[in-house]
Amino acid sequence: MTVAHSVELILGGQRSGKSRCAEERARAWLQQPGHEAVLVATAQAHDAEMRERIARHRADRAARAPGLSTEEVPDELPASLRRLGAPHRLVVVDCLTLWLTNLLMPMHGSALDERAWDAQRQSLCEALDASQGPVVLVSNEIGLGLSPMSPEARRFVDALGHLHQAVARCASRVTLMVAGLEVNVKGPA
């Protein structure tokens, strides 16, 4: 990624290579003099398995993209993008799926209603449009399977699909990861 202001959305299923792809973008960015990269992590460790998963991701990132710093941002993603955006800094968001989970299916507190969620999605797109530097967003493509049984799960799948469409519209590049392979969906390959 060499464009001063660009947005890339990297989609894929579980273990498709999404995070690795984003880390490779960061590693390439960091090889250029004067460049910085920060990963905005949206995961929250509510149980032992998730704590282990987060620790594994941290170790993998350190090995694959030395110099990639991390900020934990479970819910204030638009504000973080505005704060962190700079021409010399690549911002990697991993991942939109967990950010949405934190807002619509929180472990503690109330879920956002439709109006509040729409405002958050709009705010994210505005932050991406106004970004002063490149942004790579990672998210799970979960809408390829059967429709979930519960109303809450159907709401989540629908909301994630609408979020992906909104982000893809303002992205200069969309990549789909399948079995560790990049499939160009939009923009330069």
Q: Is the CA virtual torsion 92, 50, 101, 160 positive or negative?
A: positive
User: Which residue in 57, 88, 108, 162 is the catalytic one?
Assistant: 57
Known active-site residue 46: no
What is the distance, to the nearest Å, from the Cα of residue 135 to the centroid of all Cα atoms in its chain? 9
What CA–CA distance (Å, rounded) separates 115 from 16?
32
Backbone phi, then psi, for 9, in 5-degree steps?
-105, 120
Q: Which helix (H) or strand (E) holds 19?
A: helix 18-30
Is there a contact between 47 and 35 (Cβ–Cβ < 8 Å)? no
Backbone phi, then psi, for 159, in 5-degree steps?
-65, -40
Give the residue numbers annotated as catalytic, written as ranges.
Answer: 57
